[in-house]
Amino acid sequence: MSRNDKSKGGKVSGRQGGGNTKKSSARGNAPIKQQQSAPKTPSKTDGIRLNKYIANAGICSRRDADIFISAGNVTVNGNVVTEMGYKVAPTDEVKFDGRRVNPDKPEYFVLNKPKGIYVTGSIEKGGKTVMDIMAKATKAKLDPVGKLDTQAMGLLVFTNDGTLAKRLGKPRNGIRQIYQVNLTKPLSVEHLEKIRNGVILEDGKVNIQDISYIAERPKNEVGIETNSTKNHIIQRLFKSQGYEVEKLDRVVFGGLTKKDLPRGRFRRLTDQEVINLGML
């Protein structure tokens, strides 16, 4: 019987293999290792490009954003990013020249606030806030600029532009504000002149740009102009002279007026109005 015939009998030897043959440890029969798959490239829906993020915030165009990014002016979560096409998530903290960037497009509104509406801190009291009114304006998260007492009425600015809000909250030279004030009793000429010359309160002197009686109205109705941002300044000013404020209406804020803006209504600021506020 030949060697080939013996192989056909079912017993196979050597490298031809068989059911009863042990696996060879030769290199050719070594088990093949599975290769690890390469990490997936983030899809186009993962995050937003850093240059677009900055452009959406109204800081500059995408092209200019690329220049600032490559120059190292932008950080993400505290780290400088110079990579073109870098993507950020909504939860990332992006800063441009050290200032936090708001990914939402800046929006600016002015409201003619009604009496009895809280500006802040009324949720636990169940009272209506100005945010209930401004919720109809936009989906962006707006914040009021400065304060206005609950019983006060008049102009109140809203924005999601933190830089402008901070600037208006603590202006270098103050913001021109004119109030129409109704007192519980007529204001004497003596006290009117005293207020005009400046009154010293517990937190310092309050300078008044102008104060006068309202033409053809009772002497308890006056107009007063100030650039002070101190809390409850109008009420405290008159109280120091023995008067109580019955009605308070802010009719001018910066260069904004209540013209064609009914009580309880709001409107979007024009580009020029935003520029003017930014220059205060």
The residues that are catalytic are 149
Separation of alpha carbons 156 and 147, rounded Å: 8
Tell me which residue has tokens 């929006």. 107
DSSP string over 215-257:
TTS-TTEEEEEE----TTHHHHHHHTTT--EEEEEEEEETTEE
DSSP string over 151-201:
T-EEEEEEES-HHHHHHHHS-SS---EEEEEEESSPPPHHHHHHHHT-EEE
Around 257, how many Cα atoms within 13 Å sit in the side-chain half-sphere?
A: 2
Structural contact between residues 189 and 179, judged by C-beta atoms closer than 8 angstroms: no
Structural contact between residues 192 and 213, judged by C-beta atoms closer than 8 angstroms: yes
Q: CA 103 → CA 132, 167, 180, distances in Å?
A: 23, 19, 38
